[in-house]
A = this chain, B = another copy of it.
Amino acid sequence: MKKEARLFEEFLEKKGLRDTLQRELILEEFLKTEEHITAAELYDKVKQRDSAVGQATVYRVLKLFCEAGLAREVDFSDGMMRYEHHYGHSHHDHLVCRGCGKTVEVVDTVIEELQKRLSAQYGFQLTGHEMYLYGICEECRRR
């Protein structure tokens, strides 16, 4: 079994929640995807394997994944939330192409350090951040 699945079971256990077939199924499908997935996309995939699953359940379970540290919400400001793998994936920000929608995951430890310092200057203890860099990728620029 995947480490993520075990972690999720432990999480459910600890919270006194139940390990159901739907939750397992949704987790399996979520883990299969590599890209940032929307609730609707995940719902479609899950439905192909069990058409009885409701979308509310997908939403509910995605929330659980986030709580469990398995998933993370990302918001590219296009009207719906996306979810990406979080466990075993180090923190990163996103570079988004305004032309084709392609995204790249990026990290810059110097920026991170400066963010912390900047916050401290205003007496804030930084707990998290969102950074989206929007631009035009090379391919799109050629066209």
Binding site for B on A (CB under 8 A): 75, 77, 95, 97-98, 104, 106, 108, 110-111, 114-115, 118-119, 122-138, 141
Complex formed: what's the CA distance from A124 to B106 in Å? 12
Please pick, from B75, B108, B134, the residue contacting A118 in the complex, using a CB distance under 8 A: B108
Contact A124 to B110, CB < 8 A, known contacts A95-B119, A132-B130: no
Minimal beta-carbon separation of A101 from chain B (angstroms): 13
Which residues does chain B contribute within 8 Å of A135, judged by CB atoms? Answer: 119, 124-128
Q: Is the CB of B131 within 8 A of A130?
A: yes
Which residues does chain B contribute within 8 Å of A127, judged by CB atoms? Answer: 98, 134-136
Complex formed: what's the CA distance from A75 to B76 in Å? 11
Closest B residue, CB atoms, query A129 = B133
Closest B residue, CB atoms, query A141 = B125
Q: Is the CB of A97 within 8 A of B124?
A: yes
Minimal beta-carbon separation of A57 from chain B (angstroms): 22
